[in-house]
Every structure is written in structure tokens, then in C-alpha cells.
Chains A and B, each alone.
Chain A
Amino acid sequence: MVSIDVWNASVDFPIFDAKSRSMKKALLSKAGGKIGTDSKVPIIEALRDITLSLKEGDRVGLVGHNGAGKSTLLRLLSGIYEPTRGQAEIRGKVAPVFDLGVGMDQEISGYENILIRGLFLGMSRKQMQKRVDDIAEFTELGNYLSMPLRTYSTGMRVRLALGVVTSIDPEILLLDEGIGAVDAAFLDKARDRLFDLVQRSGLLVFASHSDDLLLELCSSAIWMDKGEIRQQGSLRDVLTSYKGKDPFESVSHETLQRLGHEPAAANSQDKA
């Protein structure tokens, strides 16, 4: 059973700054008297009191301004950050696609990066070797896969990362906004795969600023604001209050028609 449960979780980042704790400052503040009240490490409250329960088949979009805590929430859901207060319980095989490029080795080839990412996501070397051809075909990177990763464009990296995570049957897929960097044709392909994945007892959480992408991939949404969940509900409701207008108004006619065939829009359209 795939699920993510979070109870009153908070994520506080301590900000260790060598300057603020230097000997010089300490001495000066003593001489000057009362200035040095910052003896404690300053803390950024990135997430506050998050309570969530996600289950199999959920396709959740994350919206919110820059710095609202979307990426941090994704890292909390992936288990990278364990909450400083509260609890988080993640059941299922997690496959995250965060900042692309970081977390991949620039100097080694695309093939090697596919292998390493696969190993990190719990695959064995043999299992990955079986999938390499499939990934090569899906990403359309061809001979580029034997080139070092530093020669790749952002879009090509997204292709690689998506190729890996979608090929290994993860149960929980966490996507950060970066995937918007790929072209429309590839996005169509990727969307089909992501759908497959979610239907095969998966769970998707996707942070994005693009209404189109959200409408195509998600059914419900969470609006993050200043580290807290401001609203949680169906994608259309959340987007309407977040943007101040119904998202379906601004979507092009073609997209709407296409969405009409996708299960993603089914809920929203029922309600409309």
C-alpha cells in the first residue's frame, strides 16, 4: 500500500554563518555591550505544521509563490528531510526529480548517470542494464548518452531524469518545476508515461507554475504559502483561489479538447 502521511510536521533550517560566529564579532560585541543578542543560530522556518495524507492514485499539484516551501515540501515527502517537529511516514518506493543537473555527475556520461540514478532508486545493475535501451529510445538522446553530462542542455537533462524515473516503476513520483524545460512533443510522450505510472498504483506530487502542465497531470492541488498549507482541494478550486480566476478560462481551446479525453480533467469538468 503506497501512502504518505505527515502529521504536524515542521522543517526548520539552522543558518550557520561563519561570520556571525567569528571570534572578532564575539570580542567586539562584548566590548560594545548589548549588541550580540544573536548568540543562537538563526533559524528559517521553511515549513510549519504540515498535515497531509496522500494515497495511491493521488495526483497532487503544488502551487505557490517562489519561496513558499514547495521544493522543501517535496523533499520532506521524499524523506530527504525528516521533520524537525512532527512526523512523516512514507510507504513506497520514492523517485524524485528535483533541481536538474544537481545530483548528477557532470563529468560522466549519460549512460553512467542513468545507471547511478537507477542504483540510487533501488534498482540493481542488471535491472538497469535491461532498461537502458528503453530509456535511450524514450529520451531520444541517441549517441549523446555516451557524452559527458556537461554537454547536455537543460531540456536534455530533464529527458534523462524523466526517462530514468518513469522506467523503473516507482510508486511515489515527486516532480519539481524543472520539467517544463522540455519541448511540447516530448512532454506529450512524458505525459502518457506519467499517466501509466500513476494508474499502476502510483502517487504523483508535482510542483509547477504552469497551469497547463498542472491541468494535464494533476487532479487535486495544495496551495503553499509562507511554509504553510493555505488551501487543499480539487485542482480547479485551488487554482481559482490562487490565481483569482478560473484556470479553464485561460487555457487554449486545443488543450481543453485534449484534456477532455484525459482522466485528469474528468473531475474538474464534472464539477464545472
Chain B
Amino acid sequence: MQATAEIERNDAPAAAPSRSWTRAWADIRNGIAQRELWGHLGWQDIKQRYRRSVIGPLWITLSMAITAAGLGFLYSQLFHIPVETFLPYLTVGFIVWGFILGCLTEGADTFITNEGLIKHLPAPITVYALRTVWRLTLMLAHNLVVYVVVLAVFWSHLTQRYILSPPETPNPEWHHGLGWDALLAIPGIALIALNGLWVVILFGIISTRYRDIPQVISALTQLLFFMTPIVWTTDILRSRVGGGDGGWRELVAELNPLYHYIQIVRAPLLGNNMNWHNWVVVLGLTIVGWSLAFLAMRNYRARVSYWV
């Protein structure tokens, strides 16, 4: 009546080794398939954060509204740009930035904060990455309410041609104004969420092993925020540095990957002029990022439960 059978014992191991593409891919696929689980966990996180507060998750919307209004007025004065067009610009920039910031900081902590669950219940680790991305997506949706309100208020200013540079600029760039191309924001947001997932998986795994990484990321985010055209525009940069279509503008904005991510959502939502190369850069980063995430999943997926 023993639990072991000698015949069975001598069989050659049939299971796939831990470090294989098959297992990495299965983890991601099974993780996505448990939609109800990560959907519930992500929504639970938001409810939990605003538990016992009267207006609950509406605080997300409200705090975004306050920030956007305050900074919109201040910076429009500083840059001499009409608040009617600058405030919407800043609002959308902030909304997208909020999502990106979340993917970087909360993403790096994803597996560390889920330590209890990882060590007690067998589940694909992708579930935890999806939990984080889904939570951030829900917050993005809450914040988009602010965009809708801003859009309603400044509708007449945004639907015509406008400039986002100081009036004294000699040859200002005219933005074409809001149109049907606003629908491009939908693939834009989808693409950003897809990128959020690889960021969370990759940074999450690295941070679980090297606990200094979350600190490095949080030390850099402040700088990243001010280096990215969110509270300033590339139009201003051009008018200040004075010239043509070269130099500074290229370096500061174009070399910053976050600029392209923000641009593919912000430009359609505001009717700003858009360059197709923004999409190309984002698609390129998607491919590179996912390849790295897959590599990390293949080599270190099984180690995460040891490291947390």
C-alpha cells in the first residue's frame, strides 16, 4: 500500500524543463485566460484604496482635475499660451503620464507586494502583472472623465486651428484642431496598455531580484517627468531655442521614449499635429520590450517565488 511505485519512479522525466519558451508562453497565456481573477483583483485594489471614503474612486478623478486646473492656469501664464488650449494639453499629458508612472513604479513592486499570494497559491505570475496593469487602466478610465469635462468646456477653442506656442513666436506651428482622427487614441491607449504589461513583467522580475531597482526608478521619475513634454510643449522649446527644425527639439523630445508614448494618445485627443514616426517608435519599443520580457519570463519566471 505504499504511495510509490517502482516502475513509475524509473520513468524518464517527461515534464518540460523550467526554463523553456513553452513554459514562459504558457504562463502568459494561462495568466490572460484567468480574466475574472485579475479583473477582480485589480478592481478590488481600487475599491480597497478608497475604502471608507465618501466619494470613493471619484477621488482619482477629482485629484486629477485639481492638478490639471491648477498647473494649467499657472503654466499657461508662465508660457504666455492661452489657457483654453494649454489646459487641455496639460490634462491629457498628465493622464497618460499617470499611467506610465504607475507602470514604472507600481510595476517594479508588483511581485514584491504580491509575495503572500505568490507563496501560498499556485498561479501564473502573469496574473499579478495583469492585476497591476488592469488597476492602472481603470484609474486611467477614471481620469479620462476629466478629459471629457475639459473637452466640453473648451470645445470651441479646440475644434478650430490653434497654436501651442507663445504669441511672439515668429513662425508658430498651427495645430489642425480636433477631428475624427481623435479615434486614433483608442489604438494608442491599447498600445500603451500592451507596453505597460511588458514593463511590469520585466521590471517586476528584475526588481524582485535586485531590490535597489525600485529605488532607482523612483529616483528617476521626477526628472523624467520634467524632461518629458507634459507641462511644456515642443512648440515652446522650438520658439525658445530659436530655430527651424533641428537641434534641441530633436534631442530632448525625440530621444525620450516617453514622449512618443504620450504623443500617440495626446495628439489625437487634442487634434495636435501628429508624426507617424511616433507610432513607429512605439511599435518598435513594443517589439523590443516584449522580447526582453519573454526572455526574462523564460529564464527567471520560476525563480520569482524563490526571490520574493
A residues contacting B by CB (< 8 A) are 5, 7, 13-14, 16, 18, 51-55, 58, 60, 75, 78-84, 86-89, 94, 96, 98-99, 102-103, 105, 107-108, 112, 115-117, 119-122, 124-125, 219-220, 222, 232-234, 267
Contact = CB atoms under 8 A, between A and B. Distances in A.
Given A232-B3, A232-B4, A75 B36 contact: no
B251 interface: no
Given A51-B9, A103-B121, A234 B1 contact: yes
B240 interface: no
A84 B41 CA distance: 30
Contact of A116 (B13, B41, B209): B41
B117 interface: yes
Contacts of B302: 82
Interface string B270-308: 000000000000000000000000000000001001110
Nearest to A220: B3
Contacts of B209: 16
A209 B113 CA distance: 31
Contacts of A107: 48, 51
Given A89-B14, A89-B15, A108-B44, A120 B2 contact: no
A14 B306 contact: yes
Interface residues of B, number: 35
A220 B2 contact: yes
B40 interface: yes
B242 interface: no
Contacts of A83: 18
B163 interface: no
B58 to A, nearest CB: 20
B157 interface: no
Interface in B14-53: 14-15, 17-18, 34, 36-37, 40-41, 44, 48, 51
A269 B159 CA distance: 87
Interface of B: 1-5, 8-9, 11, 13-15, 17-18, 34, 36-37, 40-41, 44, 48, 51, 116-123, 209, 211, 302, 305-307
Main secondary structure of the interface of A (DSSP, over half): mixed
18 contacts: A5-B8, A14-B306, A52-B4, A55-B3, A75-B119, A80-B118, A80-B121, A96-B121, A103-B117, A103-B120, A108-B48, A119-B36, A119-B40, A124-B36, A220-B3, A232-B2, A232-B3, A234-B1
A116 to B, nearest CB: 7
A252 B1 CA distance: 25
Contacts of A60: 3
Given A60-B3, A80-B118, A102-B116, 20 more contacts: A7-B13, A16-B211, A58-B3, A78-B122, A80-B119, A80-B121, A80-B122, A82-B305, A83-B18, A98-B119, A103-B121, A107-B48, A116-B37, A116-B40, A119-B37, A120-B121, A125-B40, A220-B1, A222-B3, A234-B1
